[in-house]
Amino acid sequence: MLESAAELGAARLSVCGDDPDAARLAASFAGLCDLAAGFGIGVDLEWMAWRPVGRLADAVAAVTAAARPNGAVLVDALHLFRTGGSPAELTALPPGTIRSVQICDAVAEAPVGTEAIIREARSGRLPPGEGVLPLDALMAALPEDAALSAEVPMGTATPPEERARRVYAATRALVERHRSG
């Protein structure tokens, strides 16, 4: 997989942490970073409330313990805010900790219960600016060199092309607002 990814020009690999043993998780993450480094690929650990790596602090601890130069934390706007994180926490991290960011927006009312949380993450997000997440503050807190992408699974009620146009326009507006601000 890493060889194919490198041939396609991939620069970063996104992974989740499902091992409840923190030491073993860090060792596994370090091993994956070592494998990926041989292909010139970095590895970003994403946290999600329903996984053992469920908070920003968990992801930072695993990446720090792994101590690999190509290892970093992936910030997903939904997961940051739904797990009680803030942009201020991001600015306090050492340089190089964050290398990838996934932008989206969400409704004000956070889902309750694991299944509802998963459902929102997988099909209930909104394009940037259509919800209540403090995305301008998030953008201001991000490192200038972080790779930015939009992750906005919205279900199937809207045709894919229309969804893509809507997400692109909203994400571009957010980026342009941040650049000019």
All structural domains of the chain: 2-180 (3.20.20.150)
Average pLDDT on 27-40 reads 98
Indicate whether 147 pLDDT > 90.
Answer: yes
Least confident of 37-46, 54-63, 109-118, 148-157: 148-157
What's the pLDDT at 55? 97
Residue 34 pLDDT exceeds 90: yes
Phi-psi region of 54 (alpha: psi -120 to 50; beta: other; left: phi over 0): alpha
Whether 179 shows a pLDDT value over 90: the answer reads: no
The token duo for 111 is 């889902």
Q: Does the pLDDT of residue 80 top 80, yes or no?
A: yes
> Is the pLDDT reported for residue 88 higher than 80?
yes
At residue 41 the predicted structure's pLDDT band, cuts being 50, 70 and 90, is: very high
Q: Tell me the percentage of the chain whose pLDDT exceeds 70.
A: 99
pLDDT, position 181:
64
Whether the predicted pLDDT of 176 surpasses 90: yes
Composition of the chain by helix, strand, coil, percent to 5: 45, 15, 40
Residue with tokens 């600015």: 91
Alpha helices in the chain (DSSP H): 2-7, 22-37, 56-66, 77-82, 87-91, 114-123, 135-141, 160-180
Q: What is the CA radius of gyration of the chain?
A: 16
pLDDT of residue 180: 78
pLDDT reported for residue 158: 81
Q: d(Cα 163, Cα 107) in Å, to the nearest integer?
A: 17
Mean pLDDT throughout 128-152? 95
